[in-house]
Chain A
Amino acid sequence: MNVLTMPVTVYVPRDSAARSVGADDVADALVTAAARHGRSIRVVRNGSRGMLWLEPLVEVATLDGRIGYGPVAASDVDGLVAAGMFDGAAHPQRLGVVDELPWLAAQNRVTFTRVGVTDPLSPDDYLRYGGLVGLVRALENSPADVVAEVTESGLRGRGGAGFPAGIKWKTVLDCADELKFVCCNADEGDSGTFADRMLMEGDPFLLIEGMTIAAYAVGATEGYIYIRSEYPDAVATMRAAIEIAYGRGWLGDNVLGSSLNFDLHVRVGGGAYICGEETSMLESLEGKRGMVRAKPPIPAIHGLFGKPTVVNNVLTLATVPTVLAHGAQAYQELGVERSRGTQVFQLGGNIKYGGIVETAFGITLGELVDGYGGGTRSGRPVRAVQVGGPLGAYLPRTKFDLPMDYEAFAAASAMVGHGGIVVFDETVDMAAQARFAMEFCAAESCGKCTPCRVGAVRGVEVIDRITSGEHRDENLALLEDLCDVMTEGSLCAMGGLTPMPVRSAIDNFPDDFLARQPIARTEGTT
């Protein structure tokens, strides 16, 4: 067979971030250009490798490995093809073998091992790259053994709270109810976080496998994935993957020929940030307003429709198959102190090399922001980074030696949260960011408890008085008091943690709270 007639496999990501900067047009242009040059190509729409500044990243399969070109615009395609891209030829946009790029090679991709590598909706790819090994092993063991394995691995909830997954599962397992649920919290509303989205779009079968293992371990028969409506591509990919999984006998009655019956459904949120809070999510799944529930009772005992329910984040559930496949010990060996395994860090905001960095806990904030991230996209100095979403602390450069570790961050009045890191350059106005934290809380509070519902509105007003120089010291003291009330008196983390970005902004950037012109307000907001 003539080498020129053999189809060349070309990868163009289908991830919505890649599509947001033209991946679909690039895929179309490649097909057209290949036809014009008489080349036969097979375009695979893979997930994203997570090197988002290189998107659209096109990869060409060669005997030397997958050669990357990026970022590619549709208008670049003709030139690239003429230069011999389909043979991996040299070009200014040629990056080399993608697996060997230092940014990627230095990581430890455990949960994200297949994302960007495979066709997300190919069950054969999934099996070829080690899929279902964890589920098969789980089904060979007793549910209690599976729970014990997850507990021993040290896996903690990746949604932000970091609660040990195995302990939660054991509580559900120990409930005698016939009807139990597994719910995946895919309401990834924190700005600066996108790992759940990329996992669902890039390796949906992994989440299905993780939820199926959870169902087996705790004795659940029904599962729900609650995905925010802002993620239509993730919704579509998960739904397609679930349908394929049913067809393969990976879901439904007698999963993989075992006695396990497990039905899995996707539910779409309604654009309410608070529904990322687990009890609010359960209310929403029940078809109600997403009002937070008081705990106890905990969802593990009294969860969805009052039944015992496992509620875990996407990344937690997507890590379970690896724990089962390679054993608790292998996972446990990664990480530091009580933060075991890897965390999927997400670098965003004003950052030069933004994307997914999966690595063991213990890496410092500075290594992520300056090392992987390469500083700001604007080229100005980094002034602040917000770690852990809108409710996380704003940290200055002096905190860059902090190791990414749940306890180390907590000790520094900050939180690792879901692993999102948002970078700001020196133009950032920290009083405006503090004000925004309160404004966001006011807009997104479920309204059930007073400290959150009213406190957030008062918080905006007090910050406005401070920055306009009105009784500055008294109002700073008042704000401090308000933050105390919100922290101690709120029903959930929304009101309870909103003071974290506010206080960290005041503590770390006090000069920004001196009197000046009023903060520009956006029309239509508070």
Chain B
Amino acid sequence: MSVALVRDIVSTYRGQRGALLPILHAVQETLGYVPPEAIPVLAEELNLSRADVHGVVSFYHDFRSAPAGRTTVRICRGEACQAVGAERLVSHVQETCGMSLGDTNADGSLTVEQVFCLGNCALGPAAQVNGRLRGRLDEARLSAILDEAVAQ
């Protein structure tokens, strides 16, 4: 991790009110995760305690302490998607990839996660693939997404 890079990001957002969240999003977008080594740097730059920064990082599901796979597939487990078979998709990932929600595979090509609602509740089951929303999924379509991810 480059300390200078983190300091640069802080300087971009420092003028904003309550800048820590925008800064953390920017760090994660740049580095792919929020490295634990970034926490004391952020604390020093923002005149916060390390505990404060760590507390914020660990509160929000979005911030990772380790890099994700090259493709992240987030499967919606909200009620609307449950009603059309979201849990079958979760089982399908376990059966075909041997992965549980939250896992990254060994070659770092794929991370699968759960998410509660992507706002695609009339076209479920839904998932988000590297930020891109997908709808009307079934086992075959999910497999196509997973296969493509693993091949890359």
Contact = CB atoms under 8 A, between A and B. Distances in A.
Contact of A287 (B21, B80, B120): B21
Contacts of B136: 20-21
Kindly list the 3 A-B residue pairs having the minimum CB-CB distance in the complex, ordered from nearest.
A354-B122, A270-B60, A191-B78
A191 B114 CA distance: 13
B108 interface: no
B94 interface: yes
B122 A268 contact: no
A52 B63 CA distance: 32
B123 A17 contact: yes
Given A348-B121, A349-B124, A523-B100, A422 B79 contact: yes
B19 A16 contact: no
B59 A17 contact: no
Interface stretch (B2-10, B83-91, B143-151): B83-91
Contacts of A444: 116
A267 B56 CA distance: 15
A191 B101 contact: no
B133 interface: yes
B78 A17 contact: no
Nearest to B17: A305
A189 interface: yes
24 contacts: A20-B120, A20-B123, A20-B136, A188-B119, A191-B80, A192-B80, A229-B62, A230-B119, A230-B128, A268-B25, A270-B25, A271-B61, A285-B18, A285-B21, A289-B55, A289-B59, A305-B18, A348-B80, A349-B82, A355-B122, A390-B116, A422-B80, A422-B121, A524-B101
B133 A16 contact: yes
A230 B83 contact: no
A361 interface: no
B126 interface: yes
B83 A350 contact: yes
A386 B59 contact: no
Contact of B78 (A192, A271, A523): A192
Contacts of B24: 270
A523 B123 contact: no
A168 interface: no
A89 interface: no
A520 B87 contact: yes
Given A191-B81, A433-B79, A351 B59 contact: no
A520 B90 CA distance: 12
A55 B59 CA distance: 36
B114 A525 contact: yes
B118 A354 contact: no
A427 to B, nearest CB: 9
Interface residues of A, number: 68
A378 B83 CA distance: 10
B135 interface: yes
A277 interface: no
Given A270-B59, A272-B59, A290-B60, A191 B121 contact: yes
Contacts of B103: 524
Contacts of A194: 119-122
B60 A17 contact: no
Interface of A: 16-17, 19-21, 52-53, 55, 188-194, 196-198, 229-233, 265, 267-273, 284-290, 305, 346-351, 354-355, 377-378, 386, 390, 420, 422-425, 428, 433, 436, 440, 443-444, 446, 520, 522-525
Contacts of A524: 100-103, 114
Contact of A20 (B17, B19, B114, B126): B126
Contact of B122 (A17, A19, A230): A17
Contact of A525 (B56, B101, B121, B124): B101
B-side interface mostly: loop
A446 B55 CA distance: 12
A19 B133 contact: yes
Contacts of A270: 21, 24-25, 59-63
Contacts of B120: 16-17, 20, 194
Given A20-B135, A268-B21, A523-B101, A386 B119 contact: no
Nearest to A351: B122
Nearest to B74: A230
Contacts of B133: 16-17, 19-20, 233
B31 interface: no
B90 to A, nearest CB: 5
B121 A346 contact: yes
B117 A190 contact: yes
Contacts of A350: 83-84
A349 B81 CA distance: 6
Contacts of A20: 120, 123, 126, 133-136
Interface string B46-63: 000000100110011111
Given A196-B119, A524-B103, 5 more contacts: A17-B122, A194-B122, A346-B121, A349-B81, A420-B121
Contacts of B62: 229, 269-271
A425 B79 contact: no
Given A191-B81, A287-B21, A305-B17, A231 B63 contact: no
> Interface centre among A20, A351, A523, by most B CB within 10 Å?
A20
Nearest to B58: A289
Given A348-B124, A350-B84, A524-B100, A287 B79 contact: no
